[in-house]
Amino acid sequence: MSKTYTPEELKKLPFMNENLNIEQRVEDLLKRLELKEKFKLCAGRHRWETKPIDRLGIPAFLMTDGPHGVAPHSSGGKECTYFPVGICRAATWNHDLCFQFGKALAEEAREVGAHMILGPGVNIDRTPLCGRTFEYQTEDPYLNKKMAVPVIKGVQGERIAACIKHYICNNQEKNRYTYSAEVSQRALEELYFPAYKAAVEEADVWSVMGSYNKINRVYGCAHKKLLKKVLMDRWGFRGFVVSDWNATHLIDNPEDCIKAGLSLEMPRAKHYKRRYLKEAFSKGKFTEEELDEIVKRLLRVMFLVGIFDDPSTLPQGVRNTKEHQDIARKIAEEGIVLLRNEDNILPLERDQIQKIAIKGLNADRKLAEGGGSSAVKPPYEITPRTGLEQKCEDKIEIIDDVEEAEYVFLVLGLDHEEHNDVENSDRESLELPEAQLDLIDEVTEKNENIIVILINGSPIRMDNWINKVKAIIEAWYPGQEGGHVIADIIFGDVNPSGKLPLTFPKRLEDSPAHLTEKRYPGNEKVFYEENIFVGYRYFDTQNIKPLFPFGFGLSYTNFKYKNIELDKTEFSDNEKLTISLKIENIGKREGAEIIQLYIQKVHPKIERPVKELKGFKKVFLTPKQNKTIQFKIIKEALSYYDDDLKLWNVNEGEYKVLIGGSSRDIRLESKFNYKKQ
């Protein structure tokens, strides 16, 4: 029987010594664990925590949902700040806001007693029907990694673990427990890996969540190639892999998970029950060395978050602060996208309006507590109606009769019910619900000044009604301050600067994942036959006109792009190419422009997209102000994954630099040559 230490004795053990480095502490604790205790650490209990080892003073490691606010179901029902959803945050194209959000999220997680936040979600938006598109960020791998890395740094800077999810190709909710994503290595490398790779190599992410689905016929939580060989060996991941909740149930045995590198089975033991592990170990199905490796990874993160350290030395948690509310509001301000503004109907002038009408189911709805694992219970939630009422107070009358109103606000969109924006269910159509389409028809017959506000987290078909309305504001699910921000944008106190992080198709059948049923929804297998041509890579290469292109978003001011210059016309392997241009605000309002840089290979040797995003900058300018903007390009920006050579490759020859306001709004271009040394 191993020794049970008293609190005083524990304090003297090396693993409790904060002056030792983490690896020394991990090794000391690991060698003190009995085999059965190692087994015990490999599975959760009480849904959100690991099992404590009282003998050695190892407390439970606590986890919490979710990606845009600490969830009530994993925090004892606590009220927490409801930040805008992931797709809204991605639409800001603002790294600094992502960092501030991550820091605030970690502070709230710390305050409720958690050690890890289950997010960010970074699955590529392959199909617009995916029920969790609202949680995810984008269809583009470059934007995906650039927005994920600062979130992780913000979280982990507070010594709370981030858990990036869901590794990998969890691109639909339909059949999510059973389907196999049949995907090429090139698509994995170019589209689906980059955010995870950057999370490891640039942000040192401390946890990765294994997905429910199979990848090329192997379940994500038992995928030795993707977990052990790619994530750990190739990228150098030092944290631990946790299963998605109940994601191991259809896996055949525990040893496959152990050998793949799954440290923690959640929410409780299925394959990692101690009797199963003991039996498999006794039969030589896995070694203690292999077991030690997965336990060591979990222990390492326990030390990284300070679970054994003096609490007074750790960052302090706070919840529902004014600062967090301001961050939520700022993300909404920069993430909401103005999609249509005919006749420059917006912004409205308060002192020139007497009567408005507000219609639509989403005008009054509070949606924070829906969606599944991403639910949040906020201290308050400002709906669009409340925001408009407070903005109009004592100045503008809000009436019911749409014929008498000077302007009508239709607050439409989706919700978090089944077959909408919700976990474990995909949408069945791009259409708005029939009752909302009827409302559009009814109101547009009586009033021509219609402003649509969309509350939703994924693309909506609009071609059958878009010309009936004057303005469309894509507000996403904008968080607890959303109603205030919507009103601020409508009346010009905020100039919208968000841009779409994914393509809005005119019709579902225009999307590359929907050309055949094999691609979506599939059955036991989902064939990623579009390969690397997801989102704008497909629409632009095939010259299919979308409803709204990737990177699109209007402003109340205008920007002029000019004077593109390259510091060289030819560069090679270890050099950098510097691209500069000037951007000027030529309108009458201050505003922000998101300048996007795309690269195109002229006369490619293999099939490649017509353009790929390789840089962006968000620039804030006052009227008549101009700035010089620089981008630096290295050879990796020109590279592609060569399936034949099984490595990343760059072709010599001519390339184009394309710079503009969206993938379909290229304002400047130039050429250069790449030559291998």
Cβ 172 vs Cβ 162: under 8 Å: no
Q: Is 617 helix (H, G, I), strand (E, B) or coil?
A: strand
Distances (CA, A) of 484 to 389, 433, 493, 494, 626: 10, 26, 10, 10, 30
Cβ 591 vs Cβ 497: under 8 Å: yes
Cβ 496 vs Cβ 554: under 8 Å: yes
User: Residue 550: CA atoms inside 13 Å, Cβ hemisphere, count?
Assistant: 30
Ramachandran sector of residue 634 (left: φ over 0; alpha: ψ -120 to 50; beta: rest): beta
Q: Of 125, 244, 415, 488, which residue is the catalytic one?
A: 244
What are the helix and strand counts (H, E) for the chain?
17, 28
From 160, 150, 179, select the one nearest 62 (Cα to Cα). Answer: 160
d(CA 618, CA 548): 20
From 140, 139, 137, 131, select the one nearest 151 (Cα to Cα). Answer: 137
From 295, 409, 395, select the one nearest 354 (Cα to Cα). Answer: 395
DSSP character string of 238-307: -SEEEE-TTTTTTSS-HHHHHHHTEEEBSSS-SS--HHHHHHHHHTTSS-HHHHHHHHHHHHHHHHHTTT
Handedness of CA 485, 419, 528, 459 (dihedral sign): negative
From 418, 410, 304, 432, select the one nearest 361 (Cα to Cα). Answer: 410
List Cβ neighbours of 88 (8 Å cut-off, separation of 6 or more): 331, 332, 335, 336, 457, 475, 476, 477, 478, 479, 498
| 28 has catalytic annotation | no
Cβ 109 vs Cβ 73: under 8 Å: no
d(CA 203, CA 185): 24
Q: Is 30 helix (H, G, I), strand (E, B) or coil?
A: helix
Residue 677 identity: Q
Distances (CA, A) of 634 to 148, 235, 473, 639, 650: 21, 20, 37, 10, 11
Cβ 25 vs Cβ 33: under 8 Å: no
From 133, 132, 155, 186, select the one nearest 69 (Cα to Cα). Answer: 155
DSSP lists the bridge partners of residue 468 as none
From 404, 553, 414, select the one nearest 489 (Cα to Cα). Answer: 553
d(CA 387, CA 392): 9
Which H, E and C letters describe 124-184, residue by residue?
A: CCCCCCCCCCCCCCCCCHHHHHHHHHHHHHHHHCCCCEEEEEEECCCCCCCCCCCCEEECC
Distances (CA, A) of 5 to 12, 22, 58, 109, 200: 10, 21, 11, 30, 36
Q: Which two tokens stand for residue 300?
A: 């390492």
Catalytic machinery residues? 244
